[in-house]
Every structure is written in structure tokens, then in C-alpha cells.
């Protein structure tokens, strides 16, 4: 009785409600699910990175554990090699050109589709969106013939142009959805202020579209960075090979030295992971833009 | 400043006509309000004047020049939008000076004109802020500043106060009126709020289904509504409208309601004995103890608002609103009696809705 009489009165505001209990339960479920999914994604990445620090013997005996002795030389030997930096610069040149052209043409085309009514606009959009359904590999022969006819075989442009073309569907779709969700009153206000379509695009649309620019930029950067089949077909000289082809050559040379191959792979994926983390906030905002009323 | 004239302006979306030949003359420096219910075409008409919407037929004349084919910029108008439409990535100063920047005005001149408008609207401390850092009222002032800076021939307001709360709306209404008194620029103001239109405008144009129902000064519309639509739209609370039949001799006509109640109507009304009519009684004209026809019924509802009390009482089987002094001892269920002078009784033809 004493306990009851001296107990603190329950504060209605701080007492957990059934809604809060449900939220707590959902959170536990959410965290467990996310940890499992994250583990599925992260474990191979970490195993690859750690494998690069091991000797071949240790890699065979203990593929997932920490290395007993860290073999830093596996990484440093690659980093100080000329081949690594050459392939990195090739990948960078191809990826940056791809990103620049995809952003430029994708944004401009999407702006027209979002704001200008003209005959056949919807059919044209659908034509671009059909491109989403075909990976470059399905059209590799006609692509090769066209690039050869243009005299672009064994040049960066021979890789960049097909990548831009195949990235256009995704780019237009994302940009168009984003542009259409910008408030129409901004368009009216800008028109009254004296903007035409070009000025509205440059002064209003683009500055407000940083999240979607980051999203499309990163998606096309990663796509280009990981692209294997197009560079394989279009490039002949090893001096122009980007990293995916470099890995293939490297694996051929060190086919028994798996620890070196793992170190090389780790070093090639590192830039895209860094780029993703830098632009993560914008990418998520861009992909979810227009999903809910702001 | 400039005059604005609309000549038989029409608008159709495909086969669907939304504006049916509107003609309107707005004088230089005049403040005109376009009012009407949602979907009546008032915003479409404003956007057509602005050049944001193409017109299907007719002519729009600003400052004695037909502007049908001109861009919004070339029409030299400025517009204030309901949602403010401020550029979120620009500061207040950049928002206000954007149109001058586009026209190639030198930076010192832009800064000077922005500062001048900011002083007028009390925005000086906010010039470096982004729109997201401003309150609703401040954003609307920036939107007005953006309009003032360019010194336009005509101001167009598209329901600029609709997004604000009631208190701020009253404050901003006063600021818009003061602004018009200061700059004297021709203004066209779209609103669905008849109080806003009455308090701000020199002249009100009432629109319904893409047609002008009536235009005139606020008091003309209030005192002599041309038809049932205007009578019901202008005034708050709305006019009571009851079915009746004309009775009495030509010299002293009256309206007889369903239960036999007779209401004297002014002898100058063009009515015929036996004519089916709608009788309009403004709540503020139904007062106890003044001259005129006495009307009585059971009190159905009492709504005190402070200075005044709204009494809803039963008259010939219809709820009728009367406005009485706040001190009036109104009581639910009690008998309420009010009088109305004959000249305050509005009469409309029941079929056509036209005022008689």
C-alpha cells in the first residue's frame, strides 16, 4: 500500500501509447532487416578489401577473417604502378565525358518534354524510354558498325557516345519527372519577369535541380565506371583501357595471385564509393522527388 | 501607369468555352477587383491579361496598344501570385532585382531600386535572406516588392492573400491598399473573398461561369445587385432569399410569402401583381424596433460575435439571418421580431433572377 501511495503519478504525456509501442516494434524489425540487407551487400566488399591484405595461402585458408599479417605491399605495388594511374585516367576521362554529355543533353531534352507542348512529344518520350529496356550488349554489333563507320574505333568517343545514348532514357525520365514537379507558378513568375525558355532553364530550373543533377550524374558515372562490354568492343589499345578491362588483363597476368586481383578490384571501386557518399544526400532526394506533396 | 481594356475576350480549351466574351474598361490608376466563385474564370482572365494564357478571341489593350501577341515582359505588367512564386535559391534582394537583371539594368541601379522598394515594404533587414527563412506575410511582401521594383504599367494580383491566416490577411489587405495609394498604379485584383474585394477595390467586377454578372463600385453592388447571383455573393452574411408572390395594389405592393406573411416593398420596383419573385433581405437590415414591416418567428440559433449577434429565426418555414446589437437579449427558442423598411427589400424575378 505504501508503495502505491508514494508512487509518482503517471504523466499522461510521457506514458507510452500503443502507437509508440507499435513504432518501437516496427523500428526493431526495420533495423534487423536493414542489418541483414547491409550485411549481404557489405560482406563481399569487406572480404574483397581484406583479401587484398592477405597472402595467397591465408586467403585460401581464411577467406573472411582479418589478415594475421597485413600485406600493405599488395596495395602499394599497384598504386605506384604506371598501369594503375593510366587506367584510372582512362576511366575518369570516359566517365566524366559520359556524365557531362548525359547531363547536358538529358536535362535539355527533359526540359522540353516537361514544359513545351509540341506534336508527337509523348511518342518521342516513349521512344527514349524504350531505350531503358535494352542494354548496350543487345545492340553491340550495329553499334560497332556505326562507331567504325564514324571512325571512332579505339577512341574515347567510341565508348562515350554509346554510353551517353544508352543513358539517355534513364536521364530523361528522371529529369522530366523532376522538372514537371517544380511549381508551375515559378514558370509564370519567371515569364512575367522576362525569362524565355532558355533563361528559365538556366536561371531557375538548373539551380533548383541540384539533387536530380547529382542523381543522374552519379548513376551515369557509376554506369560508365563499371561498363565492360562497350569498351571491350570499341577499344583495341591497352593504353586506352579503363579499369574493367584493366582488371581483366590484370587477372590474366596474375591468375594465381588472387590477393593481388582483390587488391586491384578494391582500388578500382573505391572512387565510386567515395563519389556516392559525397553525393548520397542529393541522390536520395533526387530519386524520391515528387513522391510526396512538399 | 496605364489603362486596360478588354474587348469581347473569349477563351476556350478545345471545345469547352470558359470565358464568354468579356468586355471591360479599367481606367488609369484604378483598382479593380474580379470576384466570383471558384471556377468562374477570374484567374484565367487575369492570366490572359498577363500574357500567360493565350486568348481565343477578342482584344486586350494596355496603354492604348493591343497586346494580344506580346509576351508578359513586353506588356509591362507585374504579377503577384497566390503561392508567392519566389525563387527559392535566390535571396530577397535577388528575387526583387531579378527582372531588372534580365533586362540588363546596371547593378547600382538595381541595388538602388531594390532598396527603395524594400524601404517602402519594410523589407530592408530581410534582403539577404532566402524565401525559406521568411514568414508567409514577409514572403508576400517580397512578392509585392518584386512587382514594385520594375515600375510596371499594371499590377495583377492573383488571390495574393489566400495562403495567409485570417489575422495576417487583414494586415496585408491594409498594406496592399496603402501601397496602391502610394504608387497609384492600375491594379487588377482577383479574389473569391468578397470582403477583400469590397475593402480594396474602387470597382468590383462579379464573374460567374465566364461572364460578367455586374460591375460597379462596392456600394453599388451592395445596394443594387443586378441579379440573384450578385445579391447572394456580395454581403456577409449573405442576403436571405425567400420565395414569394407580388400582392397588393400598384401603389403599395407587397411580397406575400408561403405562410401568408406580407412584406412591403418599395413602390418604384417594377413588379406585377401575382408575379413569382424572390425576396431578398439583408441580415443587417432586419433590426428590432425600426420602421417598416414587422417580421417575427422562433429563434433557431444565436451566434454572438462580440459587437454583433447573428440570430437565425424561422420565417415562413425558412431560416433567416438577422444581425442585431451584441447586447440584444437573444435566446434560443424565444420569439424574435425584426422590422425592415420597404426600400431595403430587394426583389428579383424568380425565373430570370433579374432585379426588379
Q: Say if residue B31's pLDDT is above 90.
A: yes
pLDDT at A3 over 50: no
Residue pLDDT, tens place only, B163-182 = 888 888 888 888 889 888 88
Strands B154-158, B186-191: pairing is parallel
Could A189 and B82 be called an inter-chain contact, meaning their C-beta atoms sit closer than 8 Å? no
pLDDT score of A153 more than 70: yes
| Residue B303: band (very low, low, confident or very high) from pLDDT cuts 50, 70, 90 | very high
Contact between A194 and B77 (Cβ < 8 Å): no
| Chain B touched by A285 (CB under 8 Å) | no
Say whether A204 and B71 touch across the interface (CB within 8 A).
Answer: no
pLDDT score recorded for residue B229: 93
Q: Which residue of A186, A195, A207 is in closest CB contact with B85? A: A186
The fraction of chain B above a pLDDT of 90, given in percent, is 56
CA distance B207 to chain A (A): 23
A15 touches chain B (CB under 8 A): no
| Chain A nearest CA to B91, separation (Å) | 13
Cross-chain residue pair A188–B77, CB shorter than 8 Å: no
The answer to whether the Cβ–Cβ distance between B73 and A193 falls below 8 Å is yes
Angle at alpha carbon of residue A289, lines to A286 and A294, rounded to 5°:
135
Residue A186: closest C-alpha in chain B: B85
- For residue A1, the model assigns a pLDDT of 35
Query: A210: nearest CA in chain B?
Result: B89
B288-309 average pLDDT score: 89
Candidates A192, A198, A202: best to mutate against B (most CBs of B within 10 A) is A192
Residues whose CB is less than 8 angstroms from the CB of residue A156 and which lie 6 or more positions away in sequence, other chains included: A90, A93, A94, A97, A240
Of the candidates B81, B88, B102, which has its C-beta nearest A195's C-beta?
B102
Predicted confidence band of residue B1 (pLDDT cuts 50, 70, 90): low
> What confidence category does residue B250 fall into, taking pLDDT thresholds of 50, 70 and 90?
low
B-proximal residues of A, 200-239, CB under 8 Å: 203-204, 207-208
pLDDT over 80 at B328, yes or no: yes
Instruction: Give the mean pLDDT of B190-219.
Output: 92
Q: What is the DSSP annotation of A227-272?
A: --HHHHHH---GGG--HHHHHHHHHHHTTT-HHHHHHHHHHHHHHH
Give the mean pLDDT of A51-61.
86
What's the Cα-to-Cα distance from B175 to each of B63, B96, B204, rounded to whole Å? 26, 18, 19
Predicted pLDDT of residue A7: 40
Asked which of A1-5, A84-88, A283-287 is least confident by mean pLDDT, the reply is: A1-5
Q: Are B324 and B308 in contact, with CB atoms under 8 Å apart?
A: yes
B39 contact partners, CB below 8 Å, separation of at least 6? none
How distant is the Cα of A267 from the closest Cα of chain B, in angstroms? 38
B62: contact with A, CB 8 A cutoff:
no
- Average pLDDT of the segment spanning A271-278: 79
Q: Check: pTM over 0.90? Answer yes or no.
A: no
Query: Does B105 touch chain A if contact means CB atoms closer than 8 Å?
Result: no
pLDDT band at B15 (very low <50, low <70, confident <90, very high): confident
Instruction: Give how far A174 is from chain B: nearest CA, Å.
Output: 21
Stated as kind and residue range, the H or E segment containing B223 is helix B218-223
Give every CB contact of residue B138 below 8 A, 6+ residues apart in sequence: B123, B126
Using the beta-carbon criterion (under 8 Å), do A193 and B82 form an inter-chain contact?
no
Alpha helix positions (H), chain A:
2-6, 18-51, 56-61, 72-79, 82-115, 121-130, 140-149, 156-180, 184-193, 197-199, 210-226, 229-234, 243-253, 258-288
C-alpha cell recorded at residue B170: 487583414
Of A223, A189, A214, the closest CA to residue A289 belongs to A214
Q: Does B87 touch chain A (CB under 8 A)?
A: yes
Average pLDDT over residues A123-131: 86
Facing A188 at nearest CB: one of B81, B98, B99:
B81
Question: Min CA distance, A108 vs chain B (Å)?
Answer: 20
Residue B198 has a CB neighbour count (10 Å cut-off) of 19
Say if A199 is an interface residue toward chain B (CB within 8 Å).
yes
- Residue A292 pLDDT grade (very low, low, confident, very high; cuts 50, 70, 90): very low
Residue-level pLDDT at A11 = 46
Cβ of B85 and A183 within 8 Å? Answer: yes
At A235-261, the pLDDT tens digits run: 999 899 998 888 888 888 877 788 888
Q: Report the residue of chain B nearest A209, measured CA to CA.
A: B89
Partner residue facing A191 (CB), from B72, B86, B87: B72
Greatest distance between any 2 Cα atoms in chain A: 95
- Residues facing residue B191 across a β-bridge: B35
Which stretch of A124-138, A215-229, B295-309 has the lowest confidence by average pLDDT? A124-138
**From the candidates A186, A190, A193, A209, which should be mutated to test the interface with B, based on the most B CB atoms within 10 A?**
A193
Per-residue pLDDT tens digits for A179-204: 998 888 899 999 999 898 999 999 99
Average pLDDT for B211-223: 93
Phi first, then psi: what are they for B84, rounded to 5°? 70, -45
Angle between helices B92-102 and B136-149 (to 10 degrees): 20
At residue A290, the pLDDT reads 43
Pairs of CB atoms within 8 A across A/B: 53
Whether pLDDT at A19 is above 70: no
pLDDT for A9 beyond 50: no
Residues of A in contact with B79 (CB under 8 A): 188-189, 192
Cβ contact (<8 Å) for A193 and B85? Answer: no
Is A85's Cβ below 8 Å from some Cβ in B?
A: no
- Contact at CB, B102 and A186, closer than 8 angstroms: no
CA distance A128 to chain B (A): 29
**Res B51: pLDDT:** 92
The pLDDT of residue A151 = 94
Instruction: Give the nearest chain B residue to A187 (CA atoms).
Output: B85
Q: How far apart are the CA of A194 and the nearest CA of chain B, in angstroms?
A: 5
Distance CA(B175)–CA(B197), nearest Å, equals 14
Contact B82 A195 (CB under 8 A): no
Position A6 scores a pLDDT of 39
Residue B111 has pLDDT above 90, yes or no: yes
Q: Does the predicted interface ipTM exceed a cut of 0.90? A: no
Q: Which residues in chain B are closer than 8 Å to A199, comparing Cβ atoms?
A: 102
Residue A211 confidence (pLDDT) above 90: no
pLDDT at A13: 45
Amino acid at each position: 500500500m505504501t508503495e502505491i501511495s508514494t508512487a509518482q503519478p503517471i504523466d499522461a504525456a510521457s506514458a507510452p501509447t500503443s502507437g509508440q509501442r507499435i513504432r518501437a516494434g516496427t523500428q526493431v524489425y526495420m533495423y534487423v532487416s536493414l542489418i541483414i540487407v547491409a550485411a549481404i551487400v557489405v560482406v563481399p566488399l569487406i572480404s574483397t578489401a581484406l583479401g587484398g591484405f592477405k597472402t595467397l595461402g591465408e586467403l585460401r585458408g581464411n577467406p573472411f577473417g582479418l589478415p594475421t599479417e597485413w600485406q600493405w605491399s599488395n596495395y602499394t605495388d599497384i598504386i605506384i604502378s604506371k598501369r594503375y594511374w593510366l587506367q584510372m585516367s582512362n576511366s575518369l576521362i570516359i566517365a566524366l565525358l559520359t556524365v557531362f554529355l548525359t547531363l547536358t543533353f538529358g536535362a535539355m531534352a527533359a526540359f522540353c518534354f516537361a514544359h513545351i507542348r509540341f506534336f508527337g512529344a509523348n511518342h518521342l518520350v516513349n521512344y527514349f524510354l524504350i531505350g531503358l529496356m535494352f542494354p548496350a550488349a543487345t545492340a553491340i554489333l550495329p553499334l560497332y558498325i556505326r562507331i567504325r563507320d564514324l571512325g571512332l574505333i579505339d577512341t574515347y568517343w567510341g565508348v562515350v557516345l554509346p554510353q551517353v545514348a544508352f543513358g539517355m532514357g534513364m536521364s530523361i525520365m528522371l529529369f522530366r519527372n523532376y522538372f514537371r514537379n517544380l511549381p508551375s507558378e515559378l514558370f509564370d513568375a519567371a515569364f512575367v519577369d522576362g525569362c524565355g525558355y532558355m533563361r528559365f532553364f538556366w536561371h531557375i530550373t538548373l539551380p533548383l535541380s541540384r539533387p536530380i543533377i547529382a542523381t543522374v550524374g552519379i548513376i551515369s558515372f557509376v554506369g560508365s565506371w563499371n561498363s565492360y562490354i562497350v569498351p571491350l568492343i570499341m577499344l583495341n589499345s591497352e593504353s586506352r583501357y579503363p579499369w574493367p578491362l584493366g582488371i581483366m588483363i590484370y587477372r590474366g597476368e596474375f591468375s594465381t595471385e588472387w590477393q593481388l586481383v582483390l587488391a586491384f578490384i578494391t582500388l578500382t571501386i573505391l572512387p565510386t564509393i567515395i563519389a556516392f557518399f559525397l553525393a548520397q544526400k542529393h541522390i536520395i532526394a533526387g530519386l524520391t522527388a515528387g513522391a510526396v506533396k512538399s | 501607369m496605364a489603362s486596360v481594356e478588354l474587348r469581347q475576350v473569349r477563351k476556350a480549351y478545345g471545345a469547352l468555352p470558359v470565358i464568354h466574351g468579356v468586355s471591360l474598361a479599367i481606367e488609369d490608376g484604378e483598382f479593380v477587383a474580379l470576384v466570383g466563385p471558384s471556377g468562374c474564370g477570374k484567374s484565367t482572365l487575369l492570366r490572359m491579361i498577363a500574357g500567360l494564357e493565350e486568348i481565343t478571341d477578342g482584344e486586350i489593350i494596355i496603354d492604348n496598344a493591343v497586346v494580344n501577341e506580346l509576351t508578359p515582359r513586353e506588356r509591362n505588367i507585374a504579377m503577384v501570385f497566390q503561392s508567392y512564386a519566389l525563387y527559392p535559391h535566390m535571396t530577397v534582394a535577388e528575387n526583387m532585382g531579378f527582372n531588372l537583371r534580365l533586362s540588363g539594368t546596371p547593378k547600382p541601379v538595381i541595388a538602388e531600386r531594390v532598396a527603395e522598394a524594400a524601404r517602402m515594404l519594410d523589407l530592408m533587414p530581410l534582403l539577404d535572406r532566402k524565401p525559406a527563412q521568411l514568414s508567409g506575410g514577409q514572403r508576400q511582401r517580397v512578392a509585392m516588392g518584386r512587382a514594385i521594383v520594375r515600375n510596371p504599367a499594371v499590377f495583377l494580383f492573383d488571390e495574393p492573400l489566400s495562403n495567409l491566416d485570417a489575422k495576417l490577411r487583414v494586415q496585408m489587405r491594409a498594406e496592399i491598399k496603402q501601397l496602391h495609394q502610394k504608387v497609384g498604379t492600375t491594379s487588377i485584383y482577383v479574389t473569391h473573398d468578397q470582403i477583400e474585394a469590397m475593402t480594396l477595390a474602387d470597382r468590383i467586377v462579379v464573374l460567374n461561369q465566364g461572364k460578367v454578372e455586374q460591375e460597379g463600385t462596392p456600394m453599388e453592388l451592395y445596394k443594387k445587385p443586378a441579379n440573384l447571383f450578385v445579391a447572394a455573393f456580395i454581403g456577409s452574411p449573405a442576403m436571405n432569399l425567400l420565395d414569394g408572390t407580388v400582392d397588393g395594389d400598384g401603389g403599395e405592393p407587397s411580397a406575400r410569402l408561403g405562410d401568408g406573411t406580407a412584406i412591403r416593398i418599395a413602390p418604384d420596383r417594377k413588379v406585377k401583381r401575382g408575379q413569382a419573385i424572390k425576396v431578398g433581405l439583408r441580415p443587417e437590415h432586419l433590426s428590432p424596433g425600426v420602421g417598416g414591416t414587422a417580421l417575427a418567428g422562433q429563434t433557431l440559433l444565436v451566434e454572438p460575435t462580440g459587437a454583433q449577434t447573428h440570430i437565425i429565426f424561422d420565417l415562413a418555414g425558412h431560416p433567416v439571418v438577422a444581425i442585431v446589437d451584441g447586447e440584444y437579449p437573444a435566446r434560443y427558442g424565444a420569439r424574435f421580431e425584426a422590422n425592415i423598411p420597404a426600400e431595403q427589400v430587394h426583389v428579383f424575378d424568380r425565373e430570370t433572377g433579374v432585379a426588379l
